[in-house]
Structure 1
């Protein structure tokens, strides 16, 4: 029979308080559920189809938004070409197989698509089984109770709340079938991902990378904080034939804060200049002003100052401080972490495998992540400090989760059922009764939309909290974000949202029974029938989740259309004053937010599994969403998004564990249904083994696959020479201290960018400060490009007229293509630069004279992204950049003037076409490296680097001193 309404707690019948409390007890029963479902279905499918058509029409003419990867990636990582046809994108997406995807988009993106495909296939099979068995059972089994009740909606007839007795064996059987199907898909994908990981280990990229044979050692005791101490710690774990080359971490002091403040000041100055110089021929009368930084001790008070002059001076001061701190760094102040690089991969992985449960002298040894994956500020943290950070972070998450219960309950009561709002708001009720169809449409769209909008900002909050939790790497931080988001969503969005009404109804019933019947609380709780109220509440809320999942299809289409990026880019260019840096960033491929998408997919799957036996229609709705999103996300990852930090597929365990939890939670819900209406202890006894079997399945997969996923080998290889090259060809290029050194110690500092159209009025802006101040420039190393002498484009080696202390950017150069090799852009929009052919972690032993591949365009070589080292430019021992360790004298005997970049480096490719005349013949007549005054030193080579090695090969930034590099960029 239909669920009865709970009695009001207070006796004032007809009052708003009574109505409110009754609604909290039973908020989801409504006569407009079917209309809301149809409205949600129609709007979702209609808008999705419309957005897809708009995308097909706009895509060929907006490649900056819809195919940035196709423009910027090198030949090896470029996706298949796209035609100009309306549906030309469909064929490449359908035909690109998984083996090709691994090479084009990386293992993280490939596993994401495999996970999406797994969810699609899983829910397609579950839909056939669930709908084929449960819908007929629920409808026929509850017919004796629903016949004659025309007010019961179709959705409610499909639920098991009107059945009773032995027929609930059907739900027990389906619970077993669902778990068996889920385990099969998880096992088959676990095995497939293990195969992908083994292929990844054997790939040339991994075999030639430094991090693959490097260990990170943390929590090093004070007595072992030397290079030799790290070697001793690794030898205590397990002896190997090769001795690692170690590098202890150095104290960066206040450098991270100074560099961050410097970057903020540069970007702030750029914003003021962009606004002030928006019309160079008609400058505003009033110059922009700002308040001094709170960290600036030279200015006190809140009095505003000239923004341009102040920020220019502030940047100068910060660069002087940064230079002084860098020069003061030495090896005496060691940190409790370091790195050890072995000769071959098998040695490193053998030691890491043996060190899983061994902590020599309290230290921890594990495989090193990629350098760009490390969160350097967290590495020096002690165990005690990290533990406290995790506790405080979890406390904040728990508080946020707890305080969201009240607003979440109000959303569940009123937004999911507008009839409830009308019962406490008379004016709205009149309007609702007058236009029930219109308000049904609003209910079907508004409630899920507002819920989705609220939770859009949650990943941002959780990520900021996780950044303070002490994680060593960005990938581990993202995994923890997925964990916390999922826990929050399941508790608040699913459990509290769905069960709040049942719990409130139970509490109100217990209070009434206790007050009216004068019985004790325990007896009242027994008579309150909590299990039946939980079942009724879950069945009543099931239509909301169907409409909510239907709207996820609309979200997938919006992702494909990139409508927000397209609209914001057009709006910002016309109505705001973007800086050149911002315009460059708008043309870069955006990073893909794995944490948010994984959380959404896991939550959708959990909702579907939990409500599969309550409302079987949720299964085909979920399957339809994943079927659509499988192809849409595949296009986005092929042509639009990039992986900011490649982890090599480390997300899988998080996904697998959440699916196991979702299956167990679904089994608990089936047990609640059986306890409420099945009235059989045999049924409950048959359900008890299910969670145990799922945990056993988890243990089986972990013991069978995890070691092969995480470790290249668990012991020395029989023929390790087949995997590595001789010592003199490979070990000399390791430079562990440089490649695994904190970037703030040597990375080039940002330079303010100014549009070239304002060049002729800069003397008015800077009031006589544009003269060639060589002494100041030499002292501060400020203004990478223009504070020293420019070289004339027509007379190599001759001084060009002085321009400004900023980097002038022409209209044609405001494209990511021309700046993708620079650290400040590469870190945010290209990770370590692997997609563009410049990974900083690659080691490729080669013949003398070969070095880093730095060509801006696409190379015809399939391994154009490798790094080659000249053995003559290295000496034994760990090498550090200037200010971190003394630069080797081997670098100082090569003169860049002996090489011709225009013809000696393979010619110009597509990526080099942006160079104009002022950027050619830059090194003619240049002095040898190490000279104090080098003509044209401030101008970069066409390849973005200022120095060269032997045979005309350029040196990379981590081989050159900071001061040299600071004055050698374009």
Structure 2
């Protein structure tokens, strides 16, 4: 017997599927990477957008591949300086995952797989065995012409020696993972305390008070009360009021301002608007030019239908454009014909008058206020203290950054926010249940026999074509899995924005939690454990079967997860460099862009949302941990995923994307707990795997590991969570003296900012009008 497999043998299919997936993913990834290397310099406005506003960024060579080693040499201190704490924590997670997987892969290649190969003939512990390992054995043993015996033919004592290897390495990998988690935690805490303790931003000196009693809802009374607590002097207080009327007026004004700009662009043409997009450095700083008059040279006012505006080009005035007109009746089909520019401008001026009146009104105070203290230490003491003996009164928390505050949500009542939270949770629960069917359908595509039952014609085609079989059962499920992973997170992001969080950072952290729950529960647990109806009802009837079902399903789905990580890492990660979504949307958004403001927003760098980008790497790391003792291939491709992801996200966070949210690295506790959950499932899975092979005693030996993992989580909660939320007083005192003129990224970003609703104080913007030369001009009516 030469060990060769017959045609269409299921044991040979995973190898063909993996080869096909490597070819497809490699082609996608390589083409995207080469395209990025070519376009990086040609489309610098997109792929190096942050260099415009952050000239201090480390320069990257313009050579084809020269940017890669230069990017690698950028140190953590530079990441912290130019991208902030959130980027430091995010990239630190990737760096930790790379080190962890390097160690696990080394042990898997050097110890676990050779032992498994000796005892079972399989390099990986899979459902069908490993055709590659059998071929390898035939190569190194050409004289014998046989493969290693099936494990069932071995004596129980001899086979249990191989299973002891599993027990040992479950312990080893658990403690290695815990050690890396604690090591990274201490590193992040140390850097965070040093970074925040070394700055004196308005955010660090401000607390948010909620539950303010009625008798303290004015600035003087609240200031006197806070100072009477002897925790420091109060610099300023902003009591949030019911500014909904003013907010609605400003929203109407922004829409009317857009109408005025579109009317002017319709009159002048959009050539100047296109040219102006690159000439506006920032939205709040527009170049000023002499106003263009709206009257003729003789002082007369042109008729509405035939009014002409002078075109000012290089000092020469010429007439020749017809002013746009419109009907003001129902849907623009009925009513009086008016000049569009005059009509919208008059309405804008009317709204401006209402805004000025609204800004001087007295509004009802809410039980929420921002209190800025005289020092960081005072604010931190207040945020950690119990300020009132009654429950739900004077609750102090760290304030979000001024630019991060979502003001309309601050004066929503606690009841309204509670209702919104329950509504969003209910919608997410409905989506979770509704996704059972499509995810189960994806699971059905993995098995040709199942396909033959529901679609006999396709089943027969799969039997006759090995390539089609590989594409349908290998590439298609991972592609659909990826498609689900792209679409649903945006839905959850939209739902989180409706929930009523008081800051964009809180919203982003909520999106991380929601999307991880979706990707972990729906796309992993449901897909893996309850991928079929029989498995689902087995779990419902007897929850003690979860470990066995999980172990059995993971072995059966090992090749799927190999193909998934190949597609995500080698195929999709390079596409993130291309910012394919932004490039894809660009022509559609550009087709609707008319005004200078539209074109300016078109060239703004996209926002990096950790809620959309963090959950998937977390799941990939958990999958790698689950298969760390069973599949060397998954560990290897997982390592490649994190290496490519580190370089990709490092480039984006530093050079091409902005991160407007400000959570000061608070995503790390979420990462820590979720990796610990992965450890618990890893231990449960390995216990179930040993039970499946009859090794009940060895399975019982793993009992201490979940206990140690819970101890690790409790230790983190008890000792590290406070340091992840607050600034230690000792850290503040240690860094009071620093070089003159040095500022952190947060201080630069928060310079001259105050805690006040922008609609109360922001200047009423003039329309952005561009002359044919592309210069932004101001238009005033005589």
TM-score, normalised with respect to structure 2: 0.79
| RMSD of aligned residue pairs (Cα, Å) | 4.1
For the 8 Å contact 1:592–1:642, the answer to whether it is kept is yes
The residue number in structure 2 matching 1:248 is 239
Deviation at 1:375, TM superposition (A): 1.5
1:660 aligns with 2:676: yes
- In structure 1, how many angstroms separate the alpha carbons of the residues matched to 2:196 and 2:39? 40
- Of 438, 442, 448, 1:411 maps to 442
Say if 1:243 and 1:153 are closer, same or farther in 2 by CA, change over 3 A: closer
Tell me by how many angstroms 1:106 deviates: 1.6
Shift of 1:467: 1.9
Structure 1 residues 94 and 153: alpha-carbon distance in aligned structure 2, compared to 1, 3 A threshold? closer
Q: 1:414-459: per-residue Cα shift (whole Å, max 9, x none)?
A: 2x44563344223323433332224414543332222212321222
The answer for the alignment partner of 2:106 in structure 1 is 128
- Aligned residue number for residue 560 of structure 1: 577
Partner of 2:534: 504
Q: Paired residue for 1:588, among 585, 604, 620?
A: 604
Moved more, 657-666 or 700-709: 700-709
Question: Distance between the aligned counterparts of 1:503 and 1:138, measured in 2?
Answer: 33
Alignment gaps of 5+ in structure 2: 1-8, 137-149, 273-310, 312-318, 741-749
Aligned to 1:340: 371
Tell me what 2:464 maps to. 434
- Any residues of structure 2 matched to 1:596-607 within 5 Å, and which? 596-607=612-623
**Where does residue 786 of structure 1 map in the other structure?**
779
Bigger drift between 269-278 and 380-389 goes to: 269-278
Residues 308 and 687 (structure 1 numbering): CA distance in 2 closer, same or farther, change over 3 Å? Answer: farther
How far off is 1:92 after superposition?
2.5
Paired position in structure 1 for 2:380: 349
Cross-structure match for 1:879 = none
Deviations 1:535-575 (A, max 9, x none): 332211111111111111222111112345446546765x6
Residue 406 of structure 2 is matched in structure 1 by 375
Contact 2:770 2:777 in 1 (8 A): no
The whole-number CA distance in structure 2 between the counterparts of 1:550 and 1:534 is 22
Residue of structure 2 equivalent to 1:693:
708
Q: How far apart in 2 are the matches of 1:406 and 1:749?
A: 52
Q: Which residues of 2 match residues 726-737 of structure 1 at below 5 A?
A: none
1:323-356 per-position Cα deviation (integer Å, ceiling 9, x unaligned): 33222236xx222111222222112212222239
Do structure 1's residue 385 and structure 2's residue 416 form an aligned pair? yes
Q: Distance in 2 between matches of 1:362 and 1:249?
A: 16
Paired with 1:603 and 1:50, the residues of 2 have a C-alpha distance of: 26
Task: Return the alpha-carbon distance in structure 2 between the equivalents of residues 366 and 530 of structure 1.
Answer: 41
Structure 2 partner of 1:454: 484
1:174 to 169, 175, 186: 169
1:837-852 pair list within 5 angstroms: none
Q: Is the 8 A contact 2:409 2:500 kept in 1?
A: yes
Kept in 1, the 8 Å contact 2:127–2:556? The answer is no
3-state SS of paired residue (2:657) = coil
Q: Relative to structure 1, is the Cα distance of residues 668 and 274 closer, same or farther in structure 2, using a 3 angstrom cutoff?
A: farther
Tell me, in whole angstroms, the C-alpha distance in 1 between the residues paired with 2:365 and 2:713: 42
> Residues 538 and 87 of structure 1: is their aligned pair in 2 closer, same or farther, counting only changes over 3 Å?
closer
Query: Residue 327 of structure 1 is aligned with which of 340, 351, 360?
Result: 360
Matched-pair contact (CA < 8 Å) for 2:226–2:234: no
Instruction: Check whether the contact 1:118–1:189 (CA below 8 A) recurs between aligned residues.
Output: yes
Deviation string, structure 1 residues 798-837 (Cα, Å, up to 9, x no partner)? xxxxxxxxxxxxxxxxxxxxxxxxxxxxxxxxxxxxxxxx
Q: 1:738–1:140: structure 2 CA closer, same or farther, 3 Å change rule?
A: closer
Q: 1:741 is matched with which residue: 756, 765, 781?
A: 756
Residue by residue over 1:393-427, the C-alpha shift from the partner in whole angstroms, topping out at 9 and shown as x without a partner, is 2222111111111111111112x445633442233
Q: Does 1:489 align with 2:519?
A: yes
List aligned pairs for 1:17-56, cutoff 5 A: 32-56=13-37
Shift of 1:684: 3.7
DSSP-derived class of the 1:678 partner = coil
SS at structure 1 position matched to 2:720: helix
SS at match of 1:338: strand
Greater relative contact order, per chain length (Cα 8 Å cut-off, separation 6+): 2
The whole-number CA distance in structure 2 between the counterparts of 1:378 and 1:156 is 60
Structure 2 CA distance for aligned equivalents of residues 120 and 150 of structure 1: 28
Q: Is the 8 A contact 1:419 1:432 kept in 2?
A: no
- The separation in 2 between residues aligned to 1:540 and 1:488, in whole angstroms, is 22
**Offset of 1:189 from its aligned partner?**
0.8
Instruction: Give the C-alpha shift of residue 366 in structure 1.
Output: 1.5
The 1:738/1:86 distance shift into structure 2, 3 A limit, reads: closer
For residue 644 of structure 1, give the secondary structure of its aligned residue in structure 2. coil
Distance 2:266 2:163 in 1: 70
| CA gap 1:759/1:557 in 2 versus in 1, 3 angstroms | closer
8 Å CA contact retained: 2:233, 2:373: yes
Change (3 A) 1:567 1:711: closer
Shift of residue 587 of structure 1?
2.4
Q: Does 1:89 align with 2:105?
A: no
What CA distance in whole angstroms lies between the structure 2 residues aligned with 1:501 and 1:62? 44
Residues 1:227 and 2:219 are matched in the alignment:
yes
**Residues 124 and 179 (structure 1), Cα distance of their counterparts in 2 relative to 1, 3 Å cut:** same
Provide TM-score, normalisation by structure 1. Answer: 0.64
Question: What secondary structure, in the 3-state scheme, does the structure 2 residue paired with 1:389 have?
Answer: helix
Instruction: Say how many residue pairs are matched.
Output: 695
Q: What whole-Å deviation, never above 9, does each CA across 1:188-211 have from its counterpart, x for those lacking one?
A: 1111111211221243xx22x222
Match of 2:725 among 698, 703, 710: 710
1:263 aligns with 2:244: no
Shift of 1:44: 1.8
Would the alpha carbon gap of residues 461 and 354 (structure 1) be closer, same or farther in structure 2, given more than 3 Å must change? same
Q: Structure 1 pair 480/567, CA: closer, same or farther in 2 (3 Å)? A: closer
Alignment CA distance shift 1:279-1:70 (3 Å): closer
- Does the 8 A contact of 2:253 with 2:352 survive in 1? yes
- Do structure 1's residue 201 and structure 2's residue 216 form an aligned pair? no
**Structure 1 partner of 2:4:** none
Determine the C-alpha separation between the residues in 2 that align with 1:266 and 1:548.
Answer: 48
Q: How far apart in 1 are the matches of 2:265 and 2:442?
A: 44
Q: CA deviation at 1:118?
A: 1.0
**Counterpart in the other structure of 1:99:** 77
1:919-948 deviations in whole A, cap 9, x for unaligned? Answer: xxxxxxxxxxxxxxxxxxxxxxxxxxxxxx
Q: Does 2:456 align with 1:479?
A: no
In 2, Cα distance between equivalents of 1:314 and 1:716: 54
Residues 600/530 of structure 1: CA separation in 2 closer, same or farther (3 Å cut): closer
Unpaired runs of 5+ residues, structure 1, are: 1-27, 293-298, 511-520, 726-734, 761-782, 790-970
- Residue 151 and residue 201 in structure 1: after superposition, are their counterparts in 2 closer, same or farther (change >3 A)? closer
Name the residue aligned to 1:880: none
Other-structure match for 1:628: 644
CA contact (8 A) 1:221 1:336 kept: yes
- Distance in 2 of aligned mates of 1:84 and 1:534: 49
8 Å CA contact 2:76, 2:88 repeated in 1: yes
Shift of 1:367: 2.0
Contact 1:539/1:615 (8 A) holds in 2: no
